[in-house]
């Protein structure tokens, strides 16, 4: 009798795998931090008579690796969230189909890091150190004005960073130090370690558990976060406040520029719709939605930034940059050095 039931279930299962009869679905593979307004998605769905499904797949690195592992049987049509630190890997593994969107003409060249046009830039952000204004307002030491100052004893145990092996935010900061200090970046980190820098796995933990300036009211007033994080604090403050409780340290090379890309996966089942979606992502509506959803900046210069952004998150003077190729060549090595210095 039990055998019958098992066979029955097995049969049902196989049957369910064959049966579509749903509307056309466009699948977008994203990282876990992806966010988009319901209206924006709905407008695309209506215009193209399609259902859009988002597939959060871990952090940026895991997402990309998953896409690479399944490139012979892609999980989605479009992938969004490959950033410049991983771009080389994505291109080398050849997971994209090239597509030149007509909207690309508007986009400034500084973002077009892929000449083969397989990856299309969508947004950018800067990883900067945020500080808690309230903490530094009193008798406490002044706000550090450069990366070097963070090694000073008055800032002992006040900085929380993310592990670059597990967090792309942490990786961005590590890259900033590499750009700034060159080959001596390990000395810098040695000094930071002596200054009791706190290391956690991910940005969420660092910001919401360790940082004193967020709702978590943690112990550290300095955190590696994003240029737009102070804006988020203002927007979500309840009751409303009129000044950002936090801000970013802005000195040359202390922030690292991250650019996020999207691309059509090779073998995508819905190529035409995928192209339309890429165009849509570069269009004004999506680009203007991006800041308040993901707290990043639009690549499209025609997109109007919300006021809060303009007020509380100015562009950094000189963000640090590294070419994707260089990042790809040395990333593992740099992370290993960092791990040896900081974690051992």
Say if residues 322 and 179 touch (Cβ distance below 8 Å). Answer: yes
Q: In whole angstroms, how close is the CB of 204 to another protein at the nearest point?
A: 5
Binding of another protein by 216 (CB under 8 A): no
Site for another protein (CB under 8 A): which residue of 50, 165, 191, 198? 165
Span interacting with another protein, options 12-20, 95-103, 178-186, 221-229, rule CB under 8 A? 12-20
Largest CA distance in the chain: 78
Q: In whole angstroms, how close is the CB of 253 to another protein at the nearest point?
A: 27
How far apart are alpha carbons 290 and 153 in whole angstroms? Answer: 39
Binding of another protein by 46 (CB under 8 A): no
How far apart are alpha carbons 137 and 246 in whole angstroms? Answer: 11
Binding of another protein by 35 (CB under 8 A): yes
How far apart are alpha carbons 73 and 86 in whole angstroms? Answer: 21
Q: Beta 246-248 vs 256-265: how paired, if at all?
A: unpaired
Residue ranges in 66-95 that form contacts with another protein under rule CB under 8 A: 66, 68-73, 75, 89
Tokens standing for residue 11: 């049969």
| Residue (9 or 134) nearer to another protein, CB | 9
* 8-state DSSP, 234: H
Q: In whole angstroms, how close is the CB of 287 to another protein at the nearest point?
A: 20
Which H or E run includes 177?
helix 168-181
Which H or E run includes 99?
none
Span interacting with another protein, options 4-12, 105-113, 179-187, 242-250, rule CB under 8 A? 4-12
Nearest to 296 by CA among 251, 244, 247, 231: 231
Q: Which residues bind another protein (CB under 8 A)?
A: 2-3, 5-10, 12-14, 16-17, 27, 32, 35, 38, 41, 53-58, 61-62, 64-66, 68-73, 75, 89, 163, 165-166, 201, 204, 208-209, 215, 236, 238, 332, 336, 343
């Amino acid at each position: 009798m039990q055998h019958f039931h098992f066979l029955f279930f097995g049969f049902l299962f196989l049957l369910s795998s064959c049966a579509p009869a749903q509307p056309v679905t466009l699948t977008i593979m994203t990282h876990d931090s992806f966010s988009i307004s319901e209206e924006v998605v709905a407008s695309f769905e209506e215009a193209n008579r399609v259902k859009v499904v988002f597939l959060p797949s871990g952090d940026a690195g895991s997402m990309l690796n998953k896409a690479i592992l399944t490139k012979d049987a892609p999980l989605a049509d479009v992938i969004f969230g490959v950033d410049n630190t991983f771009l080389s890997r994505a291109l080398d593994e050849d997971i994209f189909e090239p597509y030149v969107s007509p909207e690309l003409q508007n986009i400034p060249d500084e973002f077009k890091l892929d000449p083969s046009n397989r990856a299309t830039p969508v947004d950018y952000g800067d990883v900067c150190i945020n500080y808690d204004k309230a903490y530094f307002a009193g008798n406490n030491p002044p706000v550090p004005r450069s990366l070097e100052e963070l090694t000073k004893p008055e800032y002992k145990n006040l900085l929380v960073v993310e592990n670059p092996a597990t967090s792309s935010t942490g990786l961005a900061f590590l890259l900033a130090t590499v750009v700034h200090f060159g080959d001596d970046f390990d000395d810098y980190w040695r000094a930071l370690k002596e200054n009791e820098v706190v290391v956690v796995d991910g940005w969420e933990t660092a910001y919401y558990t360790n940082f004193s300036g967020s709702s978590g009211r943690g112990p550290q007033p300095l955190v590696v976060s994003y240029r737009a994080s102070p804006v988020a604090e203002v927007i979500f403050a309840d009751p409303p406040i009129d000044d950002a409780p936090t801000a970013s340290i802005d000195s040359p090379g202390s922030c690292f520029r991250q650019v996020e890309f999207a691309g059509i996966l090779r073998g995508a089942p819905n190529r035409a719709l995928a192209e339309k979606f890429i165009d849509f992502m570069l269009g004004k509506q999506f680009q203007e939605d991006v800041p308040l959803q993901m707290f990043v900046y639009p690549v499209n210069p025609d997109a109007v930034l919300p006021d809060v952004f303009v007020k509380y998150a100015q562009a950094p003077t000189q963000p640090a940059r590294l070419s994707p190729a260089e990042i790809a060549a040395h990333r593992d090595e740099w992370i290993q050095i960092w791990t040896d210095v900081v974690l051992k």
